[in-house]
Amino acid sequence: MMFKQKIGILSLGCPRNLVDAESLAGRLRDKGYGIVDIAKSDTAILNTCCFIESAKKESIDAILELVDLKKQGKIKRIVLTGCLAQRYRESLQKEIPEIDAFLGPPSLNHGAGRFPLTKKHFAYLKICESCVHNCSYCIIPKIKGKFSSLGLDSVLQKVSLFNREKISELNIIGQDITGYGLDLYGKKILAKALKKILGKAKNIHWVRLLYLYPGKEVEGILKIIRDEPKVCKYIDLPIQHINGRILKLMQRKTSKSDILRLIDKIRKVIPEAAIRTSVIVGFPSEKDAEFEELLTFLRQAQFDRLGAFIYSREEGTKAFDFKGQLPEKTKQERFDRVMLMQQQVSSALNRKFLGKTIEVLIDERQGKQYLGRSQYDAPEVDGQVYVNSKRALKPGDFAQVQITDTLEYDLVGTAVEKEGRHDEYCQ
């Protein structure tokens, strides 16, 4: 097929960034461009990320790799988009003249269908951009601007597109989806939107909610999560810390008692739910005792999934100027202690699955086994299930898997019943 031009797109960072890249690829495809591997492209588009230091470094390294490809004549043009391109456009243009162009962020409400850049059987639907909060360490509201929700009609149109694609899993995302609707409808309407989304997702087996700010809006959707079989019993609740003084310095609108009460409520309403959280260690002036308080809390709270971040001092944020910036060594030590503790927690929690049969979404084949996920595992960030199966399975299939072994973060099992495409489940 003759394309206008061959374009390669590499998306770094979070699923929200990926949605932007997939929508860009979808619009380029609709305009007659071929979407190919970056190394085989005429024009390479890099969708960058810069929310913390390590993400910036990853983006810069990727740019320099493209510069090498261009110098070798393998690609003709380099185009940058995404957060790093937006935040550091001038200095990037000056320091890396091989960059040919910069693309601004796509609008949230573009009509085009996506061009999947990762696996085809699951997708992300970004229902809002930027954030209603203003955490003192976070640069995102500065990069992304004013909080904006995608109109509910447009949300439902996109769900219908995914429903027609018969994807197996739809992940609803934003910076904080609990703020959904505040700008357009004057109030937060995630619960209402979720019900309407489920009504349009007849062919989609799993619907997962990601990035729920731990506020009262979460309580408003617990019953829907509990009562709707399609909705994964998975609560993604970034708390960032537990110590009152640090939460205040972070400008988080939650207190220790709020967080404890919410976790308790979740476990009462949906006892089998997996709770994922993320925390920041080494925040400016974090005392030993405050870190110990966090570590003790995490050990007691027994989160099913935990992401930990080392505090990254970001210019343009309020916390950048806070006193008591900690040495990298201290921050790293605290990070290592949290991860070691969570390894033990996760290992113990995984043992409860031994002998149980759970539903697993197959993501890919790996040698003689298949790799999949349970409803308690979000794509790319959580654990996996290694599946042994006599019969062939395909990405997007669901299998009933009996767990025969448990690892720190992953499970191992054998497919027990007739495997079927998810449309056999979606009655």
Strand 234-236 with 43-48, pairing = unpaired
Closest by CA position to 381, among listed 307, 280, 303? 307
**String of contacts with ligand SF4 for each residue 6-45, x by CB under 6 A:** ----------------------------------------
Residue 143 CB, nearest distance to ligand SF4 (Å)?
10
Is 173 a binding residue for ligand SF4 by CB under 6 A? The answer is no
Closest by CA position to 231, among listed 210, 205, 213? 205
Is 382 a binding residue for ligand SF4 by CB under 6 A? The answer is no
Residue 277 CB, nearest distance to ligand SF4 (Å)?
13
Is 331 a binding residue for ligand SF4 by CB under 6 A? The answer is no
* H or E element that contains 82: strand 77-82
Q: Token digits for 103? A: 């693309």
Is 138 a binding residue for ligand SF4 by CB under 6 A? The answer is yes
Is 133 a binding residue for ligand SF4 by CB under 6 A? The answer is yes
Is 129 a binding residue for ligand SF4 by CB under 6 A? The answer is no
Interatomic CA distance for residues 78 and 31, integer angstroms: 19
N- to C-terminal Cα distance for the chain? Answer: 39
Contacts with 196 (C-beta within 8 Å, 6 or more apart), sequence order: 152, 155, 156
Residue 284 or 396: which CB sits closer to ligand SF4? Answer: 284
Is 239 a binding residue for ligand SF4 by CB under 6 A? The answer is no
Instruction: Give me the helices (H) in 180-255, please.
Output: 182-185, 190-200, 216-227, 244-249
Residue 102 CB, nearest distance to ligand SF4 (Å)?
23
Choices 32-40, 63-71, 101-109, 131-139; region in contact with ligand SF4 by CB under 6 A: 131-139
Strand 274-281 with 169-173, pairing = unpaired
Which of residues 25, 50, 135, 170 is near ligand SF4 by CB under 6 A?
Answer: 135
Closest by CA position to 138, among listed 343, 313, 291? 313
Choices 24-32, 136-144, 300-308, 322-330; region in contact with ligand SF4 by CB under 6 A: 136-144
Q: Which of residues 174-193 bind ligand SF4 (CB under 6 A)?
A: 175-176
**String of contacts with ligand SF4 for each residue 196-215, x by CB under 6 A:** -----------------x--
Q: Token digits for 193? A: 């939107």
Residue 133 or 233: which CB sits closer to ligand SF4? Answer: 133
Is 131 a binding residue for ligand SF4 by CB under 6 A? The answer is yes
Q: Token digits for 150? A: 């995608």
Strand 397-406 with 411-415, pairing = antiparallel
Residue 163 or 175: which CB sits closer to ligand SF4? Answer: 175
Interatomic CA distance for residues 31 and 5, integer angstroms: 10
- Per CB under 6 A, residues contacting ligand SF4 are 131, 133-135, 138, 140-141, 175-176, 213
